[in-house]
């Protein structure tokens, strides 16, 4: 009886050991599968995850910063023909950047101001006010492999963000991956600065055999590839321009040499104005040797200069620049932006319109000062491309 009982008990004692081995094997297999899946996900989305992980909120208005890691596909964008409208741009961004996730890119009316000046030490400055309804901002740093590093300002409202949605977590921040394709002003490491401003006239829609670009992709290309105003103008001449949001825009471009130009489109023809070229009002008419320019929301091309709005802001800008012979400190440049900033206005639809951000870019030392929401009595957010 004793021997029989012992012999019968042996298999019963071994079953728990085999069960543990089976469970352990399953656990190991699951760990391997999870690890393999994680590696696959990182291989596919590693740059995107790194990019999203870089997002920081640096101002409560708010202003966010993001460093884009990896390639955002500008070469592919041009190789496939660019985009002749917002829908084509969105489709490319959805497939190339967003991995199929839907987005919107929408540029409404922009009532803005820009100018260039020189500091007493000889540094070139580029100033920009961005005026619109409430617009959460994002400063995007990009470092393309075959191009210039840059910082650019993006209105997150164009990408679907607002008071009820901000890029504060992984899921909500996904749409911010499209930000490199929606810059409105910026500066690159070569010292080129650019800003875009609305003109209330027929949209630009050039139709030749050139590759197509839109308003914001033009800024992206200039920041990525151009070191001087001449290079930026030559770049724009190589493409067919198609205005975003069924509107018309012009660009002010400046560089570290102190050079500047305003590029606008009249009847789908590109017009380039250098300092002293623009037809203006009264005593503010340009003259040879002037090294500064300004732009607001009306055409500056002679014969068409009174089409649009913002002449009052333009007069303040040009009058101040003339009084100081184009020489301003960075604080004075920000003060000039404040003097033409838009105070809070409540529109009929309840929207709040004001200056959303003011930027002073130093194109020589590659620094930028940013004031959000008209808070000129508070310290500016400072950023440097030289870091």
- The whole-number pLDDT of residue 277 equals 81
Q: Is 140 left (phi over 0), alpha (psi -120 to 50) or beta?
A: beta
Tokens 């490491």: give the residue. Answer: 189
pLDDT band at 14 (very low <50, low <70, confident <90, very high): low
Tokens of 177: 């991956």
Pair 174, 194: CB distance under 8 Å: no
Mean pLDDT, residues 121-142 taken together:
96
Tens digits of residue pLDDT in 201-215: 889 999 999 999 999
Query: Residue 209's pLDDT is what?
Result: 95
Which residues share a beta bridge with 260?
A: 254
> Angle at Cα 58 formed by Cα 55 and Cα 63, nearest 5°?
80
Domain locations in the chain as residue ranges? 22-50, 63-384
**Which stretch of 59-73, 160-174, 267-281, 342-356 has the lowest confidence by average pLDDT?**
267-281
Q: What is the 3-state secondary structure (H, E, C) of the chain?
A: CHHHHHHHHHHHHHHHHHHHHHHHHHHHHHHHHHHHHHHHHHHHHHHHHHHHHCCEEEECCCEEEEECCCCCCHHHHHHCCECCCHHHHHHHHHHHCCCCCCCCCCCCCCCCEEEEEECCCCCEEEEEEEEEECCCEEEEEECCCCCCCEEEEEEHHHHCCECCECCCCHHHHHHHHHHHHCCCEEEECCCCEEEEEEECCCCCECCCCCEEEEHHHHHHHHHHHCCCHHHHHHHHHCEEEECHHHCEEEEEEECCCCCEEEEEEECCEEEEECCCCCCCCHHHCCCCCCCCCEECEECCCCCCCCCEECHHHHHHHHHHHHHCCCECCHHHHHHHHHHCCCCCEECCCCCEEEEEEEEEEECCCCEEEEEECCCCCCCCEEEECCC
Determine which of 158-162, 191-195, 327-331 has the lowest per-residue pLDDT on average.
Answer: 158-162
Check residue 1 and give its pLDDT. 47
Round the average pLDDT of the chain to a whole number and report it.
87
Q: What is the pLDDT of residues 67-114, one digit of tens each?
A: 999 999 999 999 999 999 988 998 999 898 887 777 777 665 667 999
> Higher model confidence: residue 163 or residue 17?
163
Residue 285 predicted with pLDDT over 60: no
Q: What is the average per-residue pLDDT within 6-14?
A: 50
Q: What is the pLDDT of residue 330?
A: 98
**Residue 281: per-residue pLDDT:** 46
What pLDDT, on a 0 to 100 scale, did the predictor assign at position 348? 79
Pick 36 or 219 by higher pLDDT. 219
CATH number for the region 63-384 comes to: 3.60.60.10
């Amino acid at each position: 009886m004793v021997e029989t009982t012992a012999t019968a008990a042996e298999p019963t004692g071994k079953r728990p050991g085999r069960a543990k081995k089976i469970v352990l094997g399953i656990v190991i297999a699951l760990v391997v599968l999870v690890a393999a899946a994680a590696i696959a996900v990182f291989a596919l989305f590693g740059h995107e995850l790194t990019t999203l992980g870089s997002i920081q909120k640096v101002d409560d208005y708010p202003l966010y910063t993001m460093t884009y890691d990896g390639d955002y596909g500008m070469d592919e964008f041009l190789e496939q023909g660019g985009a002749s409208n917002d829908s084509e741009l969105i489709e490319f961004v959805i497939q190339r950047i967003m991995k199929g996730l839907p987005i919107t890119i929408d540029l409404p009316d922009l009532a803005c101001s820009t100018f260039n000046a020189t500091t007493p030490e000889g540094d070139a400055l580029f100033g920009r006010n961005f005026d619109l309804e409430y617009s959460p901002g994002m400063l995007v740093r990009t470092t393309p492999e075959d191009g210039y590093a840059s910082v650019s300002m993006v209105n997150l409202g164009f990408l679907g963000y607002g008071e009820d949605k901000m890029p504060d977590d992984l899921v909500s921040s996904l749409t911010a991956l499209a930000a490199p394709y929606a810059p409105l002003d910026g500066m690159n490491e070569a010292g080129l600065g650019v800003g875009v401003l609305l003109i209330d006239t027929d949209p630009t829609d050039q139709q030749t055999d050139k590759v197509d670009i839109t308003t914001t992709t033009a800024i992206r290309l200039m920041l990525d590839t151009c070191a001087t105003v001449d290079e930026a103008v030559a770049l724009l001449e190589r493409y067919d321009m198609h205005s975003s949001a069924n509107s018309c825009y012009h660009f002010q471009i400046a560089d570290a040499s102190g050079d500047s130009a305003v590029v606008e489109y009249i009847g789908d023809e590109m017009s380039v104005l250098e300092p002293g070229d623009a037809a203006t009002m009264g005593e503010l008419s340009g003259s040879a040797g002037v090294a500064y320019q300004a732009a607001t929301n009306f055409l500056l091309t002679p014969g068409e200069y009174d089409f649009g709005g913002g002449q009052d802001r333009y007069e303040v800008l040009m009058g101040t620049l003339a009084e100081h012979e184009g020489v301003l400190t960075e604080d004075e440049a920000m003060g000039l932006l404040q003097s033409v900033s838009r105070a809070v206005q409540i529109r009929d639809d309840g929207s709040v319109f004001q200056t959303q951000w003011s930027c002073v870019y130093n194109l020589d030392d590659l620094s930028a000062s940013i004031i959000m929401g008209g808070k000129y009595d508070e310290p500016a957010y400072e950023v440097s491309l030289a870091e």
